[in-house]
Amino acid sequence: MAKPLTAALKTAQKTRTAARGVLLWGYEQRLGREVKAHGKMPKHLGLILDGNRRFARAAGVQREVGYEFGIDKAHEVLQWCLELGIPAATIWVLSTDNVKRDPEEVEHLMKLFDREARNLARDPRIHANGVRVRAIGQHENFPPNVLDALQDLERKTAHYTGMRLNIAVGYGGREEIVDAVKIHLQKQAAAGMGLEAAASQLTPEDISRHLYAADIPDPDFIIRTSGEIRLSGFMLWQSVYSEYYFCDVYWPGFRRVDFLRALRDFQGRDRRFGK
């Protein structure tokens, strides 16, 4: 009697799993229609891709596998953004703090960046949709092959006028602000202005115009995965009036239904810009 009972339980479990899948699919379709019907989309979406290593630990696989899943998810989310007509997105894939991790891990990440930059440069979606891609951050100490891959990707998409995609790699918000101030002061010095005069005339607009992505609007919506409720230095200057959404799932497990829920939440907010 034990065997038939076990078989029946397995069959019932498969049936329940299939039913949940159908219900989730139906919910996702309805949610997608609601989000599209509302029409309000972020003009610039920020994505903090957090939780790749924890996803790997929870799944009992090597951390490198977690990064591979994370890359696949980034490609998925790019497609979702294109389908919904989101004009600009910045995805944070490596911070300045991450660069200080275990050398073997960083070396593996650099190989992934080299590979994926070259893949993006050939991606039909990038060219069909006119996506302009730019790598932002501090890259001076990156391996030459990675720098070449990132620069080649930027060159091949520089003329496009469609979606703007910023890849924040080797990026830190504090470092970005420092770099902006340095550039401004250097320009003032080149124009013959002394340090005291330059400092006395410094305005927020002077810093804004020298940020890494100064030619696109500040992010109006920022999503962070993994359950961490902090920015960790992501676009510190630009995010002063951003709306935030913190999702409990690890980045590789981020589903389209999670993305749509976040957008629906954004659509229901009344942005007051500090007023």
Encoded tokens for 102: 């275990």
The answer to whether 211 touches 182, Cβ cutoff 8 Å, is: no
55 is in an annotated binding site: yes
State yes or no: 264 annotated in a binding site.
no
- On whether 63 is known to bind a ligand per the annotation, the reply is yes
230 is in an annotated binding site: yes
The answer to whether the annotation marks 242 as part of a ligand binding site is no
Long-range contacts of 141-147 (CB under 8 A, 24+ apart): 141/99, 141/170, 142/110, 142/113, 142/170, 143/110, 143/114, 145/114, 146/110, 146/113, 146/114, 146/117
Is 208 annotated in a binding site? The answer is no
Query: Helical H runs in 166-234?
Result: 173-190, 195-201, 204-208
Q: Helix (H, G, I), strand (E, B), or coil: what is residue 170?
A: strand
Asked if 84 and 260 touch (Cβ cutoff 8 Å), the reply is: no
Active site residues: 50, 98
Residue 72 assigned ligand-binding role: no
Tell whether residue 231 is among the known ligand binding residues: yes
Q: Which residues are documented as binding site? A: 50-55, 63, 95-97, 101, 224, 230-232, 243
Q: Which residues are documented as binding site for substrate? A: 51-55, 63, 95-97, 101, 224, 230-232
Q: Which residues are documented as binding site for Mg(2+)? A: 50, 243
